[in-house]
């Protein structure tokens, strides 16, 4: 993406955790909460406007609380344009990206996937919460379904 575009710093209202977001992270976080479909090169003005309007719906990566404070990072500040892991949503270390530039998972999640012990999370399209598997019983049968514990969809 574009290194010269504005970058933002998100701060959790509950735990105070901070995360700097470049265009890649903004797009990933918007996709995660269902405000944007994956796109190779979205319009940056639209991306920034959507991101600004979504801060109340974004979950903290540390504690999961919804509602983050948004601040703009000046161009002189150093920032890391870390990609977020597709599974745990934590930043992928720069060292890993230097060795594996196309990595979409952190080392822990990648190892779990290769060993068959991974548990990929699905997010609710409506509110962005982690979906859970629930047993649904009907007359004489049972089935499993994905259900959002927050909004019930």
For the chain, the structural domain boundaries read 7-115, 122-153
Do the bridges between strand 18-21 and strand 7-12 make them parallel or antiparallel, or are there none, so unpaired? antiparallel
The reported pTM is 0.48
pLDDT (tens, 9 = 90+) of the chain, 153 residues, equals 444 455 788 888 888 888 888 777 888 888 888 887 766 677 888 888 888 888 888 888 888 888 888 887 655 444 445 577 777 777 888 888 888 888 888 888 888 878 776 666 677 777 777 778 888 888 888 888 888 888 878
Residues contacting residue 55 through CB under 8 Å, at least 6 positions apart: 10, 67, 68, 69, 70
**Crossing angle, helix 44-53 and helix 23-32, to 10 degrees?**
50
């Amino acid at each position: 993406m574009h290194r010269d575009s504005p970058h933002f710093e998100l701060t959790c209202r509950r735990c105070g955790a901070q995360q700097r977001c470049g265009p890649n992270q903004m797009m990933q976080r918007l996709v995660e909460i269902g405000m944007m479909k994956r796109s190779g090169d979205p319009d940056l003005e639209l991306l920034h406007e959507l991101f600004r309007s979504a801060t109340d719906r974004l979950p903290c990566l540390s504690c999961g609380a919804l509602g983050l404070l948004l601040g703009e990072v000046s161009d002189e500040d150093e920032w890391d344009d870390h990609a977020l892991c597709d599974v745990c949503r934590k930043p992928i270390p720069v060292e890993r990206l230097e060795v594996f530039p196309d990595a979409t998972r952190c080392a822990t999640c990648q190892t779990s996937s290769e060993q068959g012990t991974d548990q990929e999370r699905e997010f609710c399209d409506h509110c962005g919460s982690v979906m859970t598997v629930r047993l649904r019983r009907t007359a004489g049968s049972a089935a499993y379904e994905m259900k959002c514990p927050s909004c019930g969809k």
